[in-house]
Chain A
């Protein structure tokens, strides 16, 4: 699948296109098919996202998982600071990242 990601303009947070808007949680990301680039342009122009780009991901029962390690790290947070990730209470949260 193809998913669309970027950073929030104001906070810098990593965000994912949900089909309707942007979420910090990759589990909300939706397949954009071949619409990614056009969506990116529209959303960037509307200042709802900064530097969006389309990536390859694998659909899994737990949600999309980016093909590249960089985006997997972006999806959760720094691997060396579990306390600062999106799921600080879950010790296994990062099992799919590396």
Chain B
């Protein structure tokens, strides 16, 4: 885990002092809402349908137990006893009072947390692979690279007022668990033929109104040029990105209009200039950061055997436990998707329990996933059963990772002021329709993602099945999409046809899964069958 240095502490403290003063001036009437709004947003404070909402950053999704407990404390003391983990690997508190906010930020700072870079047209909180540092398939831990980017991007004076918000993801394996190519910049850390690590840089991806997959811009950027190259990528965007039209302001539009080759040329030219500035950190600085992410002291000689005599436990192991790089260890994903629950929500008590489990069984570490689940990254296999039992006791042992009920759903019209339709009730109805776990397993990996509006916080374009809520003359309506993926087989979903009512969309999905079951070839997932047979058979079943 990265530990703040003096500089980190002082900038966060200074920001809280500044915000406390801004809140005071707002409450005393020295500032209008129009003046205050951009300031509160820079501190993660939104005004949603029912109250203020505070979004707290979890940089690259990594937390320790102490930090997780603090989230439980905030939920209990300042909110209504729960928090909502988001697709940006952050957490949102839905019922915050304006006057409490400086105090909350102060409490967060005691455990090195904050709400910086969770809003505004800046480089947002960097996201990463939730299995970083544990995954059996990574070439290195991507988090030191992500931390380097956090330090580079935090309050970067040139990139504080970009044309639009800017999201960066960093991974280090061929398996993409972070929807990397659907970010403004996606970086895969790779090894070149000489065995050196560097970044493969994709630029111009994103979801929202105009979804795009980021094209490859540079195959390999060595560490020595890493920051300069990214600085050049941002500078070209800052110069040419459109500020006249909010819908065309993201970098994906710029790259689409310029073309990847022209953008690359511009970046290369800018890079030659930036390189002269000497902003790339020395290797020693990277090593200093990387030392914070040194692997924990794994025990050696542990057995890989797991006693599978309890069938429910065995099912959970099969679904929610993944391979770890250290022998005798495993990665546990805690599903925040109980049948009929609210995707991504966890009560303060559940947050505390996950913190306790991390402390006892996972070297103090937790991760937030973009699929709104929590990961215990380093659990000894001989502890798995105990961890499972404790999770089950807290209602956190749903064995549904990557199955149809492991639904990503944004807050939608139940909370979000931008929403057109409610996402959560749709997720609940689908999860209930497919509640039988055997049926879910029969359907296999099926990533279902729901957004309550075109902004696509629920990643509907990247769902094997995606759902988009729209407003049809004041009534909620739901469009259905098939064929998206945010993984290494990245693709964008296509709309099936006319939209559905809330119940209609559940029926349509059931019909689609029946087509899949009837038509699938051996080993095919839903999305594979869709890609092979196309939309028509599904359309016939749904609309016929």
Contacts and interface: CB of A to CB of B under 8 A. Distances in A.
B117 interface: no
A13 B50 contact: yes
Given A44-B33, A84-B80, A13 B51 contact: yes
A80 B342 CA distance: 8
A23 B52 CA distance: 18
A69 B425 contact: no
Given A10-B97, A77-B50, A69 B33 contact: no
A93 interface: no
B96 A12 contact: yes
A35 interface: no
Interface of A is mostly: loop
Interface stretch (B105-113, B151-159, B414-422): B414-422
B222 to A, nearest CB: 48
Contacts of A67: 474
Interface string B401-416: 0000000000001110
Contacts of A70: 49, 413, 419
Contacts of A51: 33, 47
B306 to A, nearest CB: 36
B425 A68 contact: no
Contacts, number: 64
Contacts of B99: 10
A69 B476 contact: yes
A7 B414 CA distance: 16
A11 B414 contact: no
A18 interface: no
A47 interface: yes
B50 A74 contact: yes
Interface of B is mostly: mixed
A73 interface: yes
Contacts of A12: 47-48, 50-52, 95-98
Given A10-B97, A80-B342, A69 B475 contact: yes
B428 interface: yes
Contacts of A77: 50
Nearest to A85: B50
Contacts of A42: none
B29 interface: yes
Contacts of B33: 44, 50-51
A69 B422 CA distance: 10
Interface of B: 26-27, 29, 33, 47-52, 80, 95-99, 342, 413-415, 419, 422, 424-425, 428, 474-476
18 contacts: A7-B47, A9-B27, A10-B27, A12-B95, A12-B96, A12-B97, A13-B51, A14-B50, A50-B33, A51-B33, A69-B476, A70-B49, A73-B49, A73-B413, A74-B49, A78-B415, A80-B342, A80-B428
Interface of A: 7, 9-14, 44, 47, 50-51, 67-70, 73-74, 77-81, 84
Given A69-B474, A70-B413, 8 more contacts: A11-B51, A11-B98, A12-B50, A12-B95, A14-B49, A73-B414, A74-B49, A80-B342
